[in-house]
Structure 1
Amino acid sequence: MYILVAPDKFRGSLEATEVCQSVTEGIRLAFPDAKIVSTPLADGGEGTTRILTEGSNGKFVSAVVHDPLGRYIEAEYGLSGDGNTAFIEMAAASGLNLLKPEERNPFLTNTFGTGELILHAVNSGVKKIILGIGGSATTDAGIGMAAALGFEFLDENEQNVNPNGENLSSIKNIKTENVNPLIKPVEFIVACDVTNPLYGEFGAAYIYGPQKGADQVMVAKLDMGLKNISDIATKTFGKNISGNPGAGAAGGLGAGALWFLNAKLREGVSIVMEQTNIAEHIQKADLVITGEGKVDDQTLQGKVVKGLADLCQKNNVPLAVVCGTLMITPEEAQNAGITYAVSVLNRPMDLQQAEKEAFSLVCDATFHLVRLFFNKSRK
């Protein structure tokens, strides 16, 4: 029996590689002779760079860049084994996790450090950059990133403006003459699971600004600034992409990637599955086991589990899901293409206890599901 183990992380308790180890132990207990292939997955957010780098037998590279408030930090990105592709998470340089709660201020923060990481990778000779844009501390529409690459943003007096959220409304012109020429031939693919437009009621400022430290007044000003940069960029680049799904991702970095990098926005889970050749493994598998901390409505809208379910259905391979919290109905599981779904909790316990025992809980649950599947398949 060929079993593919392809989970996401259990946030707060197990990384995806640890879930793989736990599931593998459970399989071995139930079926020692099984052929097991483990491929940890991610949905394009936190942890994606590590998975893609390790999956390509690559290495990690460090660079000194600026954090969201302009302080020097050391940030890391991945380089594929063949040296042709860089895997960058914008959160490594421009993430909310880099700031103390009292430092959060999308008027002042920018994505300059993300641009510096891109430059560092480009200077190493990469041909493609896969950029994850989750977890941002910014609402600058990517102008900080663009400034690091050589774009210039001028006010009505033709003076350079500091590229941050507060100054979006002051920009009247974008100069492209000094953009680093090494950027143009590089292919940019952005992992983006957010469908918000750039501005407006459901845009970057109104939906995500408050969690980045913006009050109601700031949100309104940021939204006006996003509308302004959209108008200026549309004139400069000849394309209005502010309403594109994902333009509002990461404080408008989705739109910035389209304008300044000529990038393509794609679902993060699709990118990860493509880079890890997961479809080839599924075609050979008798059973696929996946999992994540919580399986709910969001899971069925573009997460790892849904991506696997679609591929498993296409190849007529059963998919089993182990999770901490199971919040979908049997009908929803069936409609999504999930063959078997189970919570690993085997008795009443609080979150702290569940996280502490996560490894053994996943292992035990896997043992039972594999025994069930194997006994059924032998008849």
Structure 2
Amino acid sequence: MISPRGGRAARRGWREGHCVIAPDKFKGSLTAPEVAAHLAAGLRRVRQDVPVVTLPVADGGDGTVDAVVAAGFARFQLGVTGPLGERVAASFAMRGETAVVELAEASGLRRMSGRPTAENALAASSFGTGELIRAAAQRGARRVVLGLGGSACTDGGAGMLTALGARLLDEQGWPLPRGGAELRRLARIDVGEMVRIPVTVASDVDNPLLGVRGAANVYAMQKGAGRAEIDELERGLVHFASIVRRDLGVDVVDRPGAGAAGGVGYAALAFFGAEVRPGIEIILEQLGFADQVQGARLVITGEGSLDQQTLHGKAPVGVARVAAGAGAPVIAVAGQRTLTGEQLRGARIEEAYALTDIEPDPEVCMAQAGPLLERLAAQIAGVWLGDRVFRDEAGAHA
């Protein structure tokens, strides 16, 4: 059972106000909206009188569109081109003149059937992401938030640019085939007919485009590439950047974020003058999170695993930073946790709870994440929302 650690909750005093639930997804188990719904259900078992606001969040990767739709954006679904040329159903979201496009929806690894292969790593394209941006512009979008994460491609964003009307031509004046392996044959770029729209890149990746920390060397292996394919993709990106520098007079290969999503970050920087910002920071702005946490008695955030990666721009840290600025206490939930109490407090998270606290088998935690989250939330409510004594499903006292 959960108990207040060090008596923090008691020392703080029992605050009035609402509870804000703002988790990211539990990858492989639940989407962020599902996590938020289960946490809310667990809290309400114990404290039906406490108002609960659910604001599922994302950091620009998988689940970004789902998160903003849950907060009131409209979803638009259409058929686009998947990473290997197949047709897939993908979504973007809009509110007012702002569109949120998630690269993983059209060009993500999750769109690949089976395990990634070396051949697919060379051929995968970001073309479908460009189709989503074009569709958003046709619906009246005047600004695009482009979430980068979970990509299948290492094409420098060439596919995205082609879908938006840029012409990437070989020596004979023919359009280049799609995929990062083809970039070595690029001879000329024509952007005269390209759709242009202000883009803000939502990403927590600060890699440059090229080199040992670049898009190919760091990320292509997880997309199926071996050493030979990584070298081939790197050569393609080097050549692509040289043609961009010659034809557009732009050199942004070393800008932080250029290496995001196989170089799609580079295309956004070079062709749209995009700003790259932490994904969670942008998403929280779109959700109006700072206003939502004013006067909150508790904020609950979380993700599947609270570990070292969490500390490098992931959603829980971004949520905690804004909530702490509003004076609201923040706790986190996770499937599992490896961060120490000192690391959590350094990230402005007062306490963290994991499903493995109540179910030691990780496989059970994955399979039954929803019910376990509700049990955990009911226990958290008893500690953090004012009830000193409560019962769980078995009737045991805390």
TM-score if structure 2 supplies the norm length?
Answer: 0.87
CA RMSD across the alignment? 2.1
Q: Which amino acid aligns with 1:86?
A: A
Match of 2:37 among 21, 38, 52: 21
Name the counterpart of 2:122. Answer: 107
Cα distance in 2 for residues equivalent to 1:267 and 1:198? 17
2:168 corresponding residue in structure 1: 153
Secondary structure at the residue paired with 2:123? Answer: coil
Secondary structure of residue in 2 paired with 1:56: coil
Counterpart of 2:91? 77
CA distance in 2 between partners of 1:28 and 1:68 (Å): 42
Alignment match of 1:66 (pick from 46, 59, 81)? 81
The one-letter amino acid of 1:133's match is L
Q: Structure 2 unaligned runs (5+)?
A: 1-15, 389-398
1:195 matched to 2:206: yes
Letter in 2 for 1:278: F
The one-letter amino acid paired with 2:90 is E
Cα shift at 1:295: 0.5
Alignment of 1:156-235 (within 5 A): 156-179=171-194, 183-184=195-196, 186-235=197-246
Q: Distance in 2 between matches of 1:109 and 1:375?
A: 53
Counterpart of 2:142 in structure 1 is: 127
Distance 1:314 1:7 in 2: 18
| Cα displacement (A) at 1:189 | 1.7
> Please, which moves more after superposition, 87-96 or 132-141?
87-96
Question: Which residue of 2 is the match for residue 296 of structure 1?
Answer: 307
**How far did residue 308 of structure 1 move?**
1.5
Q: Does structure 2 retain, via aligned residues, the 8 Å contact 1:289–1:319?
A: yes
Write the distance in 1 (CA, Å) between the matches of 2:315 and 2:192: 41
Matched, 1:143 2:158: yes
For 2:214, give the aligned amino acid. G
Q: 1:177 is paired with a residue of what secondary structure? A: coil
Query: Which of 251, 261, 268 pairs up with 1:250?
Result: 261
1:32 is aligned to 2:48: yes
- Give the C-alpha shift of residue 251 in structure 1: 0.9
1:262 is aligned to 273
Contact 1:77 1:86 in 2 (8 A): no
Q: Which moved more, 1:238-247 or 1:85-94?
A: 85-94
What is aligned with 1:46? 62
* Cα distance in 2 between the residues matched to 1:67 and 1:358: 30
**1:91 equivalent in alignment to 2:107:** no
Counterparts in 2 of 1:203 and 1:289: CA distance versus 1, 3 Å: same
Please say if residues 293 and 323 of structure 1, whose CA atoms lie closer than 8 Å, have aligned partners that are also in contact: yes
Q: Find the aligned partners of 2:211 and 2:357 in 1 and give their Cα distance.
A: 46
Task: Report the Cα offset of residue 153 of structure 1.
Answer: 1.9
Q: How many residues in Structure 1 have an aligned counterpart in Structure 2?
A: 371
State the distance in 1 between where 2:366 and 2:116 align: 28
Query: Any conservation in 1 of the 2:19–2:52 contact (CA below 8 Å)?
Result: yes
Q: Which residue of 2 aligns with 1:117?
A: 132
Amino acid at match of 2:98: T
Distance 1:155 1:343, change over 3 A: same
Percent identity between matched residues is 36
Residue 344 of structure 1 and its aligned partner are, at CA, apart by 2.8
Q: Deviations over 1:328-360 (max 9, x none)?
A: 111111111111212233445322211233223
Give 1:55 deviation, angstroms: 1.6
Contact 1:53 1:87 in 2 (8 A): no
